[in-house]
Structure 1
Amino acid sequence: MGERARFPRRVYAHGEEPDPRFSLANERTFLAWVRTALALLAAGVAVEALALPLQETLRQLTAVLFVVMGLLSSAQAWFGWARAERALRLGRPLPSPALSGVVAAGVVLAGVLLVVGVLL
């Protein structure tokens, strides 16, 4: 299979093959973001499914926030992997994670909503 036939083409059609250690490290980062996404999705389902002593509006808002952060983490996993792999292939500096700040802020907000909901 030639380089041009690998998916995604927008990554593999450019540059040279990097050291496999760097590509494998990039893959581990991708998998860490996927694990984070799964945990956030599970948290959203748990908040909604369990009989937590929270006001209904806060409970639903927190559950939706966890689910949205899980979806954003999935997007960060894919796009972050592609951006880093392409940078490795082109010999450029690695890009920063584009959505990590948003995900972190969303998780903090969801935690605050849970604490406020329990205290009310």
Structure 2
Amino acid sequence: MDATQTAVFREQLLAQQRAVLAQLAAQRGGTIGRAEAAAEHFGRPEDSRAQVATDRELEFALDAHETEQLAAIDAALSRIAADTYGECTDCGADIAIGRLQVAPEASRCLACQDSVEHQRRPG
């Protein structure tokens, strides 16, 4: 991958990173943590205990997803800095440009990603 292509992907990754961080800040109402936000949002006396528990679980699931997104973006930016961006972290093959255009944080080629997902499926 040439330096021009890498620079474009770096900008995309930085934009994604800013968007996720802004989304987190907006959802949390500033700098408070997800647990505190959940307590504030879902601690109303009219809510049932089951509703509160469900809403908190959703908050924590969203937090986990956003944390994974940020980790993937950070890892991709590290691969750019190490000049290994665009190489599959499993097999070393080039990741298709089309895949990186859709998911610039991708760390695996399609074959390796399919293999990982297949292994994660139950049964």
| Bigger fraction of residues in helix | 1
Higher relative contact order (CA 8 A, sep 6+): 1
TM-score scaled by length of structure 1? 0.47
